[in-house]
Amino acid sequence: MAPTTIGIIGCGSISDAYLRGAARSRLVQVKSVADIRAEAAKEKAAEHMVQAVPVDALLADPDIEIVVNLTIPAAHAPVSLRAIEAGKHVYLEKPLATRFAEAKPVMLEAAAKGLRVGCAPDTFLGGAHQACRYAIDVGAIGVPIAGAATVLSHGMEHWHPNPAFYYQHGGGPIHDMGPYYVTQLVNLLGPVSRVTAQASTASRLRAITSEPLAGQTIAVEVPTTVNGVLSFANGANVSLSHSWDVWKHSRLPLEIYGSEGSMLAPDPNFFGGEPKVTQRDGDWTLLNIGAHPYGEPNRVTRTGAHVADHRIIGLLDMAAAIRSGRPHRVSGALALHVLEVLDAFERSSLEGRHIVIETPCERPEKLPLGSGEEVFA
Ligand SMILES: NC(=O)c1ccc[n+]([C@@H]2O[C@H](COP(=O)([O-])OP(=O)(O)OC[C@H]3O[C@@H](n4cnc5c(N)ncnc54)[C@H](O)[C@@H]3O)[C@@H](O)[C@H]2O)c1
C-alpha cells in the first residue's frame, strides 16, 4: 500500500525526530514542511530532502492527508483548527492545547468533519511501557493500589534554543512533562476520576543560559513545582511530584504498588528501559521487553545516555488506523482527558479543593507482540 502523505507545520527542535522517523517508515511520507519562520522550514527541508512551502500552501495541498503540528503549545489549537478546516487529519505534539477549554473546540470540529486527531506522547506504546501494561493486565502485581510519578529537574533554559514557551501557559512541568506520566498511568490503570494538588512558582523570572539567547530572561506564567494526587476510577491513587525547581534528587520516575507486588516502570519520556516487578516483598525481577517492538535504544542523549526514542509511532499507528478503519491508540480523546487532568492540578491548588475529571476516556488497546510496523496492521 502507498504510504500516507503528510505535511509538517513547525520546524523547530522536535521536527528532526519526526523527519528522521518518517524517513525510516514505509507507512508515511513527508511531502512538505512549513513554519511561520520561512527560513526554519527551508533549513529543515534542505537537511531532510523534502520541500519547504508556506503554511497556507501546505494546508491547501490535496495530496496531504495528515498535518503534523509541531508548533509551540500556544499555536497547537489554532494550527490544528486550520488544518481540520482544510479537511486534514491532525497529529500534534503535546499538550493538545494550552488548556482544556481551548482543546474542546478542536475535538468537536474534527468529530463534525469525520477527521481524526492524534496527540503525543506516544511513548506509552514503547516496548518497556507495553511490557508494564501486559504485566499489570495479567495480574503480575495484583490489584494496583497506589503509586508515585516523579519529574524533578531545573527546567529547560539551559539546553533549549528558545525556551520561553516552556514557562508560558501550556508549559511548566505539569503541561510539558505531565503528559508522558499521566498518559502512561492511564494506559496502565485506566481513567482518572479526581485530582488534588498544591502548586507554586519559585521564581517569576528565569535566566536563559543556552545559546543563542543566553543572558535573556523569561517571565514565568505557570507553576514550576506541583505536588498532587491522582485518584483513578479503578480505586488506585498515585502521588505526583513535578518540579523544575530541583537541582538534584534520588527518586525514581514511576512506581506502582499492587496487592501482590510492586512495579518500577521506566521513564515514560522514552520508549525503553528496564521495568521490574516483585512478588510481594521478594527481589526485583526484570520484565522481558524483547517481545515488544519499539523498546530498543537508538539515540544518545545530550548527557550521553543510550535511550529508545521512537517518537512518531503514534502517528504511524494513526496512519495505519485511518487506512483500515480501526480506532487509533494515541488519540485526541485520550489527550483531552489527560489535558483536563493536567489543568486540574493548578485549579485544585488555586481553588483549594478536589477537582472531578469529567471527560471520559478508555485505555488504549495494547500493541500486539511482534516487531516493526506489522504491529500496526
Ligand atoms: N524539543 C523537544 O525535545 C520536545 C520533545 C517532545 C515534545 N516537544 C513538543 O514539541 C512542540 C514543539 O517543541 P520544539 O522544541 O520543537 O519548539 P521550537 O520552538 O524549537 O519549534 C517550534 C516551531 O514552531 C514554529 N511555529 C510557532 N508558531 C507557529 C505557527 N502559528 N505556525 C507555524 N509555525 C509556528 C516556530 O517558528 C518554531 O520553528 C512543543 O509542544 C513541545 O512541547 C518538544
pLDDT of res. 302: 85
**Angstrom distances, CA of residue 369 to CA of 25, 131, 376:** 19, 10, 11
pLDDT over 90, % of the chain: 98
Alpha carbon of 231 to ligand 1 centroid (Å) = 32
State the pLDDT confidence band at 1, using cuts at 50, 70 and 90: confident
pLDDT tens-digit readout, 132-160: 999 999 999 999 999 999 999 999 999 99
Task: Please count the structural domains in the chain.
Answer: 2
| Most informative mutation of 16, 70, 210 for ligand 1 (most atoms within 8 A of CB) | 70
Cβ(72) – ligand 1 distance below 6 Å: yes
pLDDT of res. 21: 96
Query: Could you tell me if 77 and 183 lie in one domain?
Result: no
Query: Could you tell me if 337 and 205 lie in one domain?
Result: yes
**Would the pLDDT of 291 be above 90?**
yes
Query: Could you tell me if 77 and 191 lie in one domain?
Result: no
Query: Could you tell me if 27 and 144 lie in one domain?
Result: no
Q: Is residue 31 part of a domain?
A: yes
Query: Could you tell me if 347 and 241 lie in one domain?
Result: yes
Alpha carbon of 9 to ligand 1 centroid (Å) = 9
Query: Could you tell me if 337 and 224 lie in one domain?
Result: yes
**Would the pLDDT of 46 be above 90?**
yes
Domain region containing 277: 127-293+331-356
Alpha carbon of 276 to ligand 1 centroid (Å) = 34
- The CATH number of whichever domain residue 182 belongs to comes to 3.30.360.10
Query: Could you tell me if 138 and 185 lie in one domain?
Result: yes
pLDDT over 70, % of the chain: 100
Alpha carbon of 251 to ligand 1 centroid (Å) = 29
What is the average pLDDT across 37-64? Answer: 98
Question: Nearest 5°: CA angle at 74, between 352 and 245?
Answer: 50
Indicate the range of 203-207, 298-302, 344-348 predicted with least confidence: 298-302
Query: Which of 119, 139, 159 represents a domain boundary (last residue)?
Result: 119
CA-closest residue to ligand 1 atom 31: 75
Cell digits for 288?
Answer: 522481558
Query: Could you tell me if 81 and 216 lie in one domain?
Result: no
What is the average pLDDT across 176-183? Answer: 98
What is the average pLDDT across 111-116? Answer: 98
pLDDT tens-digit readout, 361-373: 999 999 999 989 9
- pTM (predicted TM-score): 0.97
State the pLDDT confidence band at 303, using cuts at 50, 70 and 90: confident
- The CATH number of whichever domain residue 64 belongs to comes to 3.40.50.720
The whole-chain average pLDDT of the chain stands at 97
| Most informative mutation of 9, 42, 68, 71 for ligand 1 (most atoms within 8 A of CB) | 71
Query: Could you tell me if 131 and 114 lie in one domain?
Result: no
